[in-house]
Every structure is written in C-alpha cells, then in structure tokens.
Structure 1
Amino acid sequence: MRLLVVGRLNGQLSLAVKMAMSAGAKVAHVETIEAATQALRAGQGADLMMVDFDLDIAGLIAANEAERIRVPVVACGVGADPQRAGDAIRAGAKEFIPLPPDAELIAAVLSAVSDDNRPMVARDPGMEQVIKLADQIAPSEASILITGESGVGKEVMARHVHQKSRRANKPFISVNCAAIPENLLESELFGHEKGAFTGAVARRIGKFEEASGGTLLLDEISEMDARLQAKLLRALQEREIDRVGGGKPVKVDIRVIATSNRDLAQAVREGTFREDLLYRLNVVNLRLPSLRERPGDILALADHFVKKYAAANGLPARPLSDEAKRRLVAHRWPGNVRELENAMHRAVLLSSGAEIEEFAIRLPDGQPMAPAPDAAVARSASMAADAVSRGFVGQTVAQVEQQLILDTLTHCVGNRTHAANILGISIRTLRNKLKEYSEAGVAVPAPQAGVGNAA
C-alpha cells in the first residue's frame, strides 16, 4: 500500500515510517498540509495519510474534499492525552497512533486499509481451474471482467492477475465505483483542470493517469452511470482521457480490470449498462465461484484466517476441532469468503482452549453456528428445497426477484445493508428496487428502531 506521511520527521515519526516500510508500505513524505494536497493533486497517489496531530488535520481534509480528493487520514503524535486524540478523530482522522510507535499497531492499521497481502488460497478443483486461467491470461494486455457474488474475493483475484502480469512492478490502483458519489467519480477517474468547478484551485491528476504503466481496477463497474460509461468506453478505445474542464486529451497506458457482482448481460437488456462497454471490458471473463460451490476451500481458508488473526492479536494459532470443521463445511456462507474471514477472526478471539471449539464460531448476530445435519436431515432439507423451487414455476423472473428481495429484507428486520450483502447486490441497487416496489403499491418492510439504513 502507499502511505503519505505528513509532518516533520523527528525521531519518533521517523521510526514510525521505518516500521511502516517494514510492514510493506511504500512511503512518501511531505512536511506541510499544503504540500500534501499538492502531492495528491500531482498524481502522487496514496491509500492512507499519516498526519502529525499538531498540523491542521481538519483543514487538510477540507482542502482535499474541495478538490474531490478522497484519502483516509490517520493522526499520530507524541505524548498525546485522550483529549487531543479525540480532537484528531473529531477533525476527521480515522484512527490515532500514539508515538513512540508500536510496530504491531502500525501493521494492523496498514492492514485495515489494504488488501495488498491477501494471498490466493485455493484447494478446491473448481477454484484451481479459475486460477490456472488467470495465470494464463495475466501476461497479456487483455481487459478482464471478474464476476461473482459479493465477498468471493474479486479484488484479491485482480491483485493476483496484476502480480502475474508484465506490469507487476508498476502501480495497481483500485476505484470502487459504488462507494464514490456519482458527482465525484468523474474527477476521481479522469482528474480535473484548474477552475473546472468551485474548489478546483489547481490541476488534479486522476486515477487513470495515476495508474499509467500499471493496472486500474474498476470495482463494481455496474454502478457507474451511463454518461461516465460513455467516457470510459472512449478512454479504453483511444487509450486517452479528458480531464474535467480540460481541452486537450491525455494519453494513458493502463490495463483495466473490472469487477461486478451483477449480471451485466441482464443490465444491458435492462438498458442500465452499455453493450459496447461490456464487450470492451469482457475480453476474458473470470467467474469466481461462491464459497458453497467450492467446499474444498472452506477449511483451507479457515486455517489461513486463524493463523492470520492469531498473529495479529498475539495469540497462538490453535487448530480447529473436528466438530468446528464439520459446522464450517455444512454452513451455506451467504457472505462467502468475507463472512468466513470475519467468523474466524471472532473465533480466534472467543476461543480459550487448546483447540478452536464449535461454540467460538459465531454468526454475525452473535448466535452459535448450527450443528452439521446428519444424512437424514440433509435429505429432508433437499426435498424441502425442491418443493420451494417448484413453487416458483409459473412466475416471472421479476416476480421471483421481488419475493426474494422482500423475504431477505424481512429476515434482516429491515436492515438494507445486511440484505444487500446477502443478496450480493449494492445498497444503491437495493434501494432503487425498493423504491420501484413502493411506487407500485407493494408493502416494503421498514427498518426496526435502532436498525437503521432506511431507504
């Protein structure tokens, strides 16, 4: 990951920089908040800023936001009391790191904002075939579309392809198209010229130029609006971009990888995604199977996450008990690898014996994971599932989709975010669907008090 350190490099901050570099960060340094904004404008990208809390953190964040620059900030300082640490957080910092620095704390903070060190863990033959295909096409310059449900590891696969490509020693830049508001995404991707909008006091280099020579990942590409899709298509075809407010094209040399948890062919039919852009992106498709489709990976991934979070928390890496393994393999994992990772993190913290027992493996709501069913119960469940599927016969796809969305939302007591994660769609897509149902007179479950995420 790329770390921009802002402040004077006295002894303690200099030591923190060395620890960050030892943890794998690529570190750049400036002394003032003005220099920090200038560096980000000029294309010296950063995934995180570590800022001396004696500087004007609120002013730095405001200056960046005025120019549509979005980089999270971690504050740091020597001898800070709780009041000053709280002031830094209220100013907009995500975390506070006290100095003298602690190597494990710095590594944990860097890990929290970076997926750089997530290896491809695969033992299931189905997943191994996907990795084999990825390795085969990685050295090419072809655009790649990575598809699959939410949480299957699409960004991990994109980083794997980049590391196997001829561009491995060049930048890997990721942009989440769903997380950035539509009015900011164009500037984020293509940059802008001075005076392009209120607050644009200087030229800003966008992600396309920042990634030049390397790989640009467009995560959740299906959430990009139609106007930007047209501009993206031109950039891919011509290998040049236009900054917002600019009058002169800028040549770029990048490889584009896109991801989607939606069926883009269906989105084309619905008129929400350009067919010509889909063809341009989908030169090679890597479909990542859900975790329930690759049962051979469940225990391998669980073991990997146990070791990872035991090390992160200074705990011994204990083996999983036989019953814990049975429950892991039997679970459906609607949240896929991301859900399994969170479950293993909790299990490492909750377990106190020589092994990680089944009671330590908890669902997101804190409930224990259900015991693995015996053969008779499994057959009964299969028959019930067949009966349910037969009940859908005669209904349109839209009717089945509506019932699935509303049933899932009811199951999540109205929580839009949880429902979207289970369904494998973005929160924006879910809210659009619910608005459509409400306007058609369909009753939509409201969030319960304290649950939040109202439509």
Structure 2
Amino acid sequence: MRLTIVGQLKGQLTAATRIAMNRGAAVTHAESVDQAMRTLRAGRGADLIMVDVALDVRDLMTQLEAERFHVPVVACGVDNDASAAVAAIRAGAKEYIPLPPDPELIAAVLAAVSDDNRDFVFRDPAMVAVVQLATQIAASSASVLIAGESGSGKEMLARHVHQKSPRAGKAFVSVNCAAIPEQLLESELFGHEKGAFTGASARRIGKFEEASGGTLLLDEISEMDIRLQAKLLRALQERVIDRVGGAKPVPVDIRVIATSNRNLADEVRKGTFREDLLYRLNVVTLKIPPLRERPTDVAALATHFAKKYAAANGLPLRPISAEARVSLMRSRFPGNVRELENTIHRAVLLATGPEIGAEAILSPDGAPAPGRETGLAARALETAESVTRSFVGRTVADMERELIIDTLGHTQGNRTHAANILGISIRTLRNKLNQYDDEGFAIPPPQGGVAAA
C-alpha cells in the first residue's frame, strides 16, 4: 500500500515511517500540507495519509475534498496532546495514533486500510469457476470486462486479477465513473494543465498516469458519457492520453479493467455505449453470478462477516444458528454481498443469545428480512426441505426403483402409460420390472390382473 506521511521527520515520526516500511508500505514524505497536495497532484497517489497534528489537519481535509482526493487520513501526535487529537478527529481524521508509535497499532491501521473489505471469500462452484478463469488470464495485459449486479463483488474480482498479475507490485487505481460528475470525469481520468479551465490552479496528473505500470479499474463504465468514451478508446488503442489543456500526448503503461452492472451490448443498441469501445474492453469477460445463485457463498460470507463485525464492535463471536442459516439461504439478496454484509452486521449487533438466531436476521427497519416466509409458504418450504433431506443416504438405484414402482402404481399398472411418463421405452420398463420382481420387490399389477400393453 502507498502511505504519505505529512510532517517533520523528527524522532517519533521517523520511527513511525520505519515501522510502516517494515510492514511493506511504500512511504512518501511531505513536510507540509501544501507539499502533500503537490505530491498528490503529481500523480504519486496515496492509500493512506498520516499527518502530524502539529499541522493544520482541517486545511488538509478541506483541500483533499476540494480537489476530489478520496484518501483516508489518520492523525498522529504526542500522547498527552488530547485537545489536538480531538480537533483532528473533528476535522475529519479517521483515527488518532499516539506517539511514540506502537508497532502493533501502526500495523493494525495499515491492515485496516489495505485489507478492510478486501477479504475475497468464495466457496460456491459457480464463483470458483469465475475466479479460476480470472487467475488464468491475470498474467496477460489484456483488457478485462467484469459484469455483474451491484454488490456482487466486481471490484474484489478486479483486485484479484491485479494481485495475480505481473503488475501486482504497482498501483491499483480505481475510478467510480458513476460517482464523478460528467464535466469532471475527463480531468479525473486524464489530468489537466494549469489554467485549462476555471478552477484549474495547478497541473494535476490524472488516474491514467497515476496507474502507469499498474492497473486502472473503471468502475461502472456504462455511466461514462459517450463523448468521453471516444477519448478513452484512443487511450486504450494507442496507450497515450491527452491532459485537458495539454499540448502533447503522454504515454501510459496500464492494464484496464472495466466493470458494469448493465448489459453493455444492450447499451450499444440503445446508442449510449460505443460498440468499438466494447470490443476493445471485452477481450475477456468475467461474469459474476448474483449471490442468490451462489448458495454456498451465502453461508461462507455470513460466517466471515459475523467474525469481522464481532471483532470490530468488541462483541463475543457467536455462531450462526441453523435456523438463521435457513433464513439467509431463502433470501434473494437483491443487494448481493453488500446487502448480506449489512444484514450480518445488524444481526451481530442485535443477537443476545449464545447464537445469532433467525430473530436477528432483520431488515434495516426492524421487519423480518425478505425470504423469511410465514404461514402456508413457510410450511410448504419446510415440507419440501424435509422431503429432500429424506433422500440423503439413498442410492440412485434405490431412488430409480421407487420412482418406477410409484409411477406404475399411479397408472394402475398400465406399463405403456408409465413408460411415457418416465420418458423411457416400454422394453426398458419391462426389463426393470423383471429385475425388481427377481429381487423380491412387489410390482403393482395392472387393473383387472392383465398386463396392459
């Protein structure tokens, strides 16, 4: 991960830098807020900023917001400076780290930024097949299109491709095309020169240059204006970009991964997405199934989130009860993994017994979560589940014999009718019945005692 430390590197802050580097962080140093902003504008991106509370933390937060740098900030300072710590948190810092630095605390903060919400948990065969394909193509530099519903794990899969690629040691830069206003997205992607437009008070390097050598994720690319798509197509084809207001092309070395929760072929037919850009992007397409089609993942993710949020909230780890698991498996989860995560977070907070019970599986408004059927629907589902459980331990031959004999009883011994229902030939049916008769099983006779043809 990329860490920017802002402040004078004296004694304790130097120790914090050394600890972070020993934990694998790539550290950039800036002595002042203005220098830190110049570093960010120059394309030396950061995943975390650690700032000395002796500096103006509020000014840093204001400038980050004004220039759309979405980077978490933690403040640090001598442990007896309580007022400065409070002021930093009120200004927008996520955490306060007392100095001298505790190596484990520094490690925990780095881990929280680099790993939080990035544990790639999957067990279902449908998802395993997608991840195997992603791993297989990761070593190439081919563009990848990841399709799937919102919240299904598209960014997680994109990070997996990056981590399994030769670019893993370089930057992974993500741009949410849906979250940035149309008039600002071009500058965000390609950068701009000083004076290129009103408010462009300094040169800024865009995400393409920031990600050079690594991977650029264009999240929800279907939301990009079609006029900007033409400039993106040129960047992908020629591996050069033009800064807004720039005089000459700038070469870039990146791999592009794009995600979409829409069918881009449909968007092409509507005229909202360029067909040539689609062909350029989807050298390989990875389609993530929705969570409702990955039942094994529901159980695995629920257990993972239960552990995560029990630890985060200082609560005892409670197993998820069998009844609660059934409730989760019945849900359609239109919000996919994101919705499941919120559901389990809520359940961890609401559970009171030794287990997380079904009564804790609730919607945000406190109502039973969708999928928790009641009355006739619930009894019908329970009956179907009990019938299915009764099959466990039986051989296919046993099940086939029971099906044939039961069907024959239903047709009152009419072999031709039974064979038609079963989808087999009358000869096959007769051979099966002769086998069962030799084995001592009772065969329903035809009505009237004569075998119907």
TM-score by length of 1: 0.74
Give, as a single letter, the amino acid of the residue that structure 2 aligns with 1:297.
D
Structure 2 contact 363–370 (Cα < 8 Å) conserved: no
CA-to-aligned-CA distance 1:308-340 (integer Å, 9 cap, x gap) = 223334444332111111111111111110111
Is 1:285 the counterpart of 2:285 in the alignment?
Answer: yes
Q: 1:289 to 1:347 in 2, by over 3 A?
A: same
Q: 1:84-99 to 2 correspondence within 5 Å?
A: 87-88=87-88, 91=91, 93-97=92-96, 99=98
CA distance in 1, matches of 2:29, 2:22: 16
Q: Which residue of 1 aligns with 2:218?
A: 218
Unaligned runs of 5+ in 1: 382-455
C-alpha spacing 1:144/1:378, structure 2 compared with 1 (3 Å): farther
2:283 partner letter: V
- How far 1:290 sits from its partner (Å)? 0.6
Cα separation, partners in 2 of 1:3 and 1:264, compared to 1, 3 Å: same
- Equivalent positions of 1:245-264 (< 5 A) are 245-264=245-264
SS of aligned partner of 1:257: strand
Change (3 A) 1:355 1:144: same
SS in 1 for 2:339: helix
Within the alignment, does 1:200 sit opposite 2:218 as a pair? no
1:72 shift after superposition: 4.3
The equivalences for 1:269-418 within 5 A come to: 269-369=269-369, 372-373=372-373, 377=377
Tell me the distance in 1 between the aligned counterparts of 2:347 and 2:16. Answer: 31
CA 1:72–1:314: 2 relative to 1, 3 Å = closer
Taking a change above 3 Å as real, the CA distance of residues 204 and 279 of structure 1, as seen in their structure-2 partners, is same
Q: Which amino acid aligns with 1:184?
A: L
Query: What secondary structure is seen at the aligned counterpart in 2 of 1:359?
Result: helix
Q: Encode CA deviations 1:36-86: one digit per residue, 9 max, x unaligned.
A: 011112211013323223322343345455655443434444458786556
The residue identity in structure 1 corresponding to 2:209 is E
**Cα deviation, residue 353, structure 1:** 3.2
Query: Which residue identity is paired with 1:229?
Result: Q
| Distance in 1 of aligned mates of 2:271 and 2:69 | 31
Query: For each residue in 1:255-301, what CA deviation from the matched residue of structure 2 results, as whole angstroms up to 9, or x when unmatched?
Result: 10000111222222222211111111111111111110111211011
Give 1:36-75 correspondences, 5 Å limit: 36-64=36-64, 69-75=69-75
Going from structure 1 to structure 2, the CA distance change for 1:329 and 1:375 (only over 3 Å counts) comes to farther
- Cα distance 1:89–1:196, how it changes in 2: closer, same or farther (>3 A)? farther
Question: Cα distance, 1:106 vs. partner?
Answer: 6.4
Paired residue type of 2:193:
E
Letter in 2 for 1:151: G
Contact 1:20/1:106 (CA < 8 Å) preserved in 2?
yes
Corresponding residue of 1:173: 173
Q: Output the amino acid matched with 2:7.
A: G
Tell me, in whole angstroms, the C-alpha distance in 1 between the residues paired with 2:210 and 2:180.
Answer: 17
SS of aligned partner of 2:166: coil
Q: Distance in 1 between matches of 2:104 and 2:355?
A: 25
Amino acid at match of 1:224: M
Is 1:189 paired with 2:189? yes
Deviates more, 1:175-184 or 1:18-27: 18-27
Corresponding residue for residue 391 of structure 1: none
Q: 1:280 to 1:102 in 2, by over 3 A?
A: same
After the TM superposition, which of the residue ranges 169-178 and 234-243 deviates more from structure 2? Answer: 169-178
Match of 2:30 in 1: 30
- Give the letter aligned to residue 247 of structure 1: A
Equivalent residue of 2:59, what SS?
helix
Bigger drift between 283-292 and 103-112 goes to 103-112
Shift of 1:202: 3.5
Which deviates the most, 364-373 or 346-355? 364-373
Hey, what does 1:230 align to over in structure 2?
A: 230
Q: 1:273/1:24 Cα in 2 relative to 1: closer, same or farther (>3 Å)?
A: same
Distance (whole Å) between structure 2 residues aligned to residue 295 and residue 117 of structure 1: 20
Secondary structure in structure 1 of the residue aligned to 2:135: helix
Q: Secondary structure at the match of 1:216?
A: strand
CA contact (8 A) 1:162 1:215 kept: yes
Q: Match for 1:265: what amino acid?
A: A
Describe the SS at the equivalent of 2:235.
Answer: helix
CA distance in 1, matches of 2:64, 2:196: 15
Q: Confirm or deny: 8 A CA contact 2:74 2:97 kept in the other structure.
A: no
SS in 2 for 1:285: strand
1:378/1:234 Cα in 2 relative to 1: closer, same or farther (>3 Å)? farther
- SS of residue matched to 2:232: helix
Whole-Å separation in 2 of the counterparts to 1:8 and 1:351: 47
The structure number with the bigger radius of gyration is 2
Please give the root-mean-square deviation of Cα atoms over the aligned residues, in Å. Answer: 3.1
Aligned residues: 380
* Local SS of the residue matching 2:205: coil
**Is 2:142 the partner of 1:142?**
yes
Instruction: Name the amino acid aligned to 1:121.
Output: V
Instruction: Give per-residue Cα distances to partners, 1:368-395, cap 9 Å, x unaligned.
Output: 43675489626989xxxxxxxxxxxxxx
Q: CA deviation at 1:306?
A: 1.8
Q: 1:111 to 1:365 in 2, by over 3 A?
A: farther
Q: Secondary structure at the match of 1:258?
A: strand
In the alignment, which residue of structure 2 is the partner of 1:400? none
Preserved CA contact (<8 Å) 2:332 2:370: no
Structure 1 residue 146, shift from structure 2 partner = 0.5
Q: Secondary structure at the match of 1:346?
A: helix
Give the direction of change, closer, same or farther, for the CA distance of 1:373–1:62 in structure 2 (3 Å limit). closer
Once the 2 structures are TM-superposed, how far is the Cα of residue 222 of structure 1 from its aligned partner?
1.1
Give how far 1:346 is off: 2.5
**C-alpha contact 1:358 1:369 (8 A) present in aligned 2:** no
Alpha-carbon shift at residue 144 of structure 1 (Å) = 0.7
Unaligned stretches of 5+ residues in structure 2: 382-453
Q: Answer with 315-324 or 156-165: which moved more.
A: 315-324
What is the rounded CA distance, in whole Å, between the counterparts of 1:333 and 1:20 in structure 2? 39
AA aligned opposite 1:95: K
SS at match of 1:165: coil
Task: Kindly state the Cα deviation for residue 32 of structure 1 after the two structures are TM-superposed.
Answer: 0.6
Q: Tell me the CA shift for residue 137 of structure 1.
A: 1.3
